[in-house]
Amino acid sequence: MAIIFNEQNKTYTIQTKNTTYQMAINPFGVLLHTYYGRKIENDNLAYTVYDDMSPFTPKTEDIKGDEVWARIDHIPQEISCFGCGDYRESSVNVRHADGTMGLQPIFVSAEIKNGKYSLEGLPAFYGDEGETLIVTLKDRVYDVYLHLYYGVLPEYDLITRALVIENKTSSKIHVEKALSLNLDFNYGDFDLVSFEGRWAQERRFQRTPVAHGKNQIFSTRGASGHIMNPSCILCSKDATETNGDAYALAFVYSGSFLISASRNFNDNTRLVMGINPENFNFVLESDESFQTPEVAMTFSYNGFEPASQNLHKAIRNNLCRGKYKNARRPVLINNWEGTYFDFNGDKLVSMAKDASELGVELFVMDDGWFGKRDDDYSGLGDWVVNERKLGCTLSELASKINEAGLKFGIWFEPEAINEDSDLYRAHPDYAFKMPNRQPTLARHQLILDMSRKEVRDNIYNQLCKILDSANISYVKWDFNRNITDLYSCEVPAEKQGEIYHRYVLGLYDLLERITSRYPDILFESCSGGGGRFDCGMHYYMPQAWTSDDTDPIERLKIQHGTSFIYPVSTMGAHVSASPNHQTNRKTPLKTRGNVAYFGTYGLELDVNKMTDEEKAEIKRQVAEFKQHYELIQRGEYYRLRSPYEFDSLYCVWQVVASDKSEALVCAVKYRTEANTHPEFVRLRGLDENKYYKVNGGKIYQGATLMYNGLMLEQSWGDYESQLYYIEEVK
């Protein structure tokens, strides 16, 4: 059993492979958080909760002066509510029919179930091998219930949290804040690792102390966004890749979010995570409920590395779904950077024929194939094939590319609409626009109101007509701007605060319908690159375009930051032209390939323009990537040298097979100096007693490579790289 109830101590203890999470019910019925950390067997950990006897700490007393509600301003809790004596960042806020706010949740009951819970209409981790704990609390005064969901996947040290708020009163209530996670600690010596950025610079590693006050990571964009990722690591001051405490958390949601880490006057630390309360107000009528998305968390006492590896395995095996979650995905070529809007059917077929000779397996036609779409000013919303531009039907084009030996894929941006489109002219109300205001355009487009079923049905029917018309094996689902002008014309004023969340629910509904209808299609998420790279999207699509920045040196930081939470198998990574289209940097083709290997590997260029020598190198790369595919995609990932370590010339990382029989190390030289000396990198994850051959040559004991190190080959010039294949000698 992963979940244990102790009747005598009134404790619920969650045990995973290496960690323990415990909560306890105090005499007032408050659900205390007593411990989360390294595994402890069979003990009551509530002794760490102490009473603050300060006369300035609020408590609730009856008419006789007896305390009937705890002093909660400092005690660790499983759920925190506004308005009843806890001045820290709360996770729940409810406004009642009489205008009062706040809850005092009292323990009612708990239930333990086999299998990991699922969430209706929301993505979530799954697993029959898991367990579920549902704890029910009720407000002391009003018939408002809080159902706390805990899912446990013990093998990955993974615990998930979600919340249901249920209105059993006779009147409606307003849910003004509904965060999924409240995680309290009675000490405060933490750092917060987050992954900030901007377009073409997503998920850069950032580490800051949790000081007195609040550290906040958030999005108010209606999407998880380029600027901050809905994930973080709360860690001890001494935490490194291999040392110290690390709590890694990921929000399984694709909309606006809030992560707040705060430290109070008693040095208590609280971390909350969930839907951003900015512009959020959900109305619950009597007998209605609100379900939050879930947060996934894992703990490591050996630094960032094991926490990342736990999340990688859980995301690959128990979040991603469908045919391609563990199947080998085809090596693709996308025509976007090769042609942009300037193409026709003959050009695409020519590119496909050349790519086929290099071992590429899938051709993807990007933006510009539909409606009136020769630039980004028009056409979005009109998913009708432009046969004049292609010179043939879509079915004929797909057949020609299939005859060249490649599968065929296609690009959509289903959530957006141009004002210059037939759909907008027929249904201007389908787009988000505020009354009496000019709409705010981005990339000359508006966002469709996915909270409305008729809008989703229109897009669904258009997409199905396209996907049914040709032999299509892949879909790139793009979302190139964030939401403004948030207003749904079909919703009363009182419910406009629900639209951000209802948009995401509508998106998930559409994705569920499309991916279920086409189970053999590989879907890839994109949002102006990595603007919606989150666990919510990975539930529907096993990979996402990591960034529009394809420069391999820029990608070192982008893929490095992404790897703290997300596995290699989710990261779209392509070889592009040199000079690079985003930075104008010139890099060796070998380096572009080596970096793209540690993602889904593909091409983003015009192969017709490549020299014979370049084509030979790509052909070698495709064969090498296929040879090491299983190792790269499912091996355990190790960050050996960070691109932020300025005392080194190299960024180095490694993947190791689960049985430690082989490994692959990549070293990229990201800056150059004169009179350099050899650099040694200590490998990790090998068997110290086994012997390994490096690149088919020298043989070393595993202990030697891990404790003395691998000497990197010295190279001349800019941005050189080297791949080291390490194979067990049997």
**Between residues 179 and 70, which one has the greater pLDDT?**
179
Task: Summarize pLDDT for 620-651 with one digit per residue, the tens.
Answer: 999 999 999 999 999 999 999 999 987 889 99
636 is an active site residue? no
Please indicate, yes or no, whether residues 279 and 311 belong to a single structural domain of this protein: yes
Please indicate, yes or no, whether residues 586 and 444 belong to a single structural domain of this protein: yes
Going by C-alpha positions, the residue among 182, 186, 148, 184 that lies closest to residue 47 is: 186
DSSP string for residues in 410-443? EEE-TTEE-SBSHHHHH-GGGB---TTSPPPPBT
In a domain, 326, yes or no: no
534 is an active site residue? yes
Residue ending a domain, choose from 283, 318, 353: 318
In a domain, 121, yes or no: yes
- Could you tell me the maximum CA-CA distance found in the chain, to the nearest angstrom? 91
Residue 654 is part of a domain; what is its CATH number?
2.60.40.1180
Residue-averaged pLDDT of the chain: 96
In a domain, 182, yes or no: yes
Please indicate, yes or no, whether residues 268 and 360 belong to a single structural domain of this protein: no
Residue 579: asked if its preceding bond is cis (omega within 30°), the reply is yes
Domains identified in the chain, total number: 3
Residue ending a domain, choose from 634, 659, 685: 634
Residue ending a domain, choose from 599, 634, 669: 634
Please indicate, yes or no, whether residues 7 and 91 belong to a single structural domain of this protein: yes
Please indicate, yes or no, whether residues 93 and 220 belong to a single structural domain of this protein: yes
Please indicate, yes or no, whether residues 464 and 557 belong to a single structural domain of this protein: yes
- Tokens coding 147: 């159902």
Number of Cβ within 10 Å of residue 677's Cβ equals: 8
681 within 8 A of 652, measured Cβ to Cβ: yes
Number of Cβ within 10 Å of residue 652's Cβ equals: 26
Among 89, 202, 534, 617, the active-site one is 534
Domain with 51, as residue range(s), is 3-318
Measuring CA to CA, how many Å separate 179 from each of 146, 175, 250, 314, 624? 12, 11, 13, 22, 45
In a domain, 434, yes or no: yes
Number of Cβ within 10 Å of residue 259's Cβ equals: 27
Task: Summarize pLDDT for 551-596 with one digit per residue, the tens.
Answer: 999 999 999 999 999 999 999 999 999 999 999 999 999 999 999 9
Please indicate, yes or no, whether residues 666 and 630 belong to a single structural domain of this protein: no
In a domain, 544, yes or no: yes
In a domain, 325, yes or no: no
In a domain, 152, yes or no: yes
Residue 518 is part of a domain; what is its CATH number?
3.20.20.70
In a domain, 522, yes or no: yes
Task: Summarize pLDDT for 407-444 with one digit per residue, the tens.
Answer: 999 999 999 999 999 999 999 999 999 999 999 999 99
Please indicate, yes or no, whether residues 361 and 292 belong to a single structural domain of this protein: no
Please tell me whether the overall predicted TM-score, pTM, comes out greater than 0.75 for this model: yes
Please indicate, yes or no, whether residues 654 and 596 belong to a single structural domain of this protein: no
Going by C-alpha positions, the residue among 214, 166, 219 that lies closest to residue 192 is: 214
Residue 225 is part of a domain; what is its CATH number?
2.70.98.60
Please indicate, yes or no, whether residues 444 and 483 belong to a single structural domain of this protein: yes
Q: What residue has token string 């706390």?
A: 148
Determine the Cα–Cα distance for residues 317 and 429; give it in Å rounded to an integer: 41
Among 614, 713, 727, 728, the active-site one is 614
Please indicate, yes or no, whether residues 284 and 176 belong to a single structural domain of this protein: yes
* Percent with pLDDT over 70 in the chain: 98
Please indicate, yes or no, whether residues 650 and 601 belong to a single structural domain of this protein: no
pLDDT reported for residue 646 = 79
Q: Provide φ and ψ at 143, rounded to 5°.
A: -85, 60
Determine the Cα–Cα distance for residues 577 and 237; give it in Å rounded to an integer: 42
Report the Cα 87 to chain-centroid distance in Å: 31
Amino acid 72 reads I
Determine the Cα–Cα distance for residues 548 and 616; give it in Å rounded to an integer: 26
pLDDT reported for residue 65 = 64
pLDDT reported for residue 68 = 63
Task: Summarize pLDDT for 333-370 with one digit per residue, the tens.
Answer: 999 999 999 999 999 999 999 999 999 999 999 999 99
